Amino acid sequence: MWQLGGKNFSSRLVLGTSRYRSPENLREAITRSGIEIVTVSLRRQAAGDGNKFWDLLREMNIAFLPNTANCRSVQEAITTAHMAREVFKTNWIKLETVGDEYTLAPDPFALVEAARILIADGFEVFPYTTEDLVVAERLVAAGCKILMPWAAPIGSGQGIANAQALKTLRARFPETTLIIDAGIGAPSHAAQVMEMGYDAVMLNTAIALADDAPKMAQAFARAIEAGRMGYEAGLMPRRDFAEPSTPTLGTPFWKEEKRA
């Protein structure tokens, strides 16, 4: 069990809901991997009255984390967040502010500003950010209790582009919930960030575009669980065997001295 935004969950995999072959395929992925939280996009899907795609997900009794995908400005993001609160009856908002259309890199300036306004308005803000330490600090200073740094650009499947920076974030924000958002391509990537002590992983493309999405969802769920268990059990320290520091069994000691 772990806590997120005041609720208890057992799954540490948060799933995006776009680009599946069908809603049924998505539902199978959710069921098979025990997913309890999904993100949904409002910007393009909210028009008209009601949305049966969302209704199909509502039947599954899972938590919704609405997002502000495709928003560029602070105002757009805020308007979308308000709409999300209305539609999904939740104060959770995955705050995304697009800074670059091609990579979908977040605009950190708009992000911090929108986060401050939304937190003052009672939202639980999940900001989608880069691995940058200072942006993370500003977001935490603005009141964010959760951060969602990317591992690599969204949809790229590149895995961890800057492992050192992600380790630094974990070390500097021990009290903040850290969820890796974007860039994960393979279950091993997810296991790796969980071993670093990240609280959860958010994914979409790697599962949605797999040949067998439900099976891939299950693969990720297991990798995330394994990574988390490894972190909790305590990983052994890395050892450098390039230069022997103690005499090797069977090697005469005078040879060791010579080398030193």
Under the rule (CB under 8 A), what is the footprint of another protein? 21-25, 27, 44-56, 70, 155, 209, 211
Q: Which tokens sit at 54?
A: 């969302």
Residue 48 or 174 with smaller CB distance to another protein: 48
Phi-psi region of 182 (alpha: psi -120 to 50; beta: other; left: phi over 0): left
Distance CA 114, CA 75 (A): 8
Residue 194, H or E segment: helix 187-195
Least distance from another protein to the Cβ atom of residue 63, Å? 19
Question: Between residues 51 and 168, which has the closer beta carbon with respect to another protein?
Answer: 51
User: What's 2's DSSP letter?
Assistant: E
User: What amino acid positions are annotated as catalytic residues?
Assistant: 94
Nearest distance from C-beta of residue 157 to another protein, angstroms: 9
The least distance separating another protein from the CB of residue 158, rounded to whole angstroms, comes to 11
Task: Extract the tokens encoding 21.
Answer: 């072959």
CB 258 to another protein: min, Å: 52
CB 184 to another protein: min, Å: 15
CB-wise, 70 or 176, nearer to another protein? 70
Q: How many whole angstroms separate alpha carbon 184 and alpha carbon 164? A: 16
Q: Give one DSSP letter per residue of 72-128, joined into a string.
A: -SHHHHHHHHHHHHHHH--SEEEE--BS-TTT--B-HHHHHHHHHHHHHTT-EEEEE
Pair 205, 178: CB distance under 8 Å: no
Contact assessment for residue 116 and residue 143, using Cβ atoms and an 8 Å cutoff: yes
Closer of 25 and 91 to another protein (Cβ)? 25
CB nearer to another protein: give 46 or 117: 46
Please enumerate in sequence order all residues whose Cβ is within 8 A of that of 59, keeping only pairs 6 or more positions apart, or say none: none
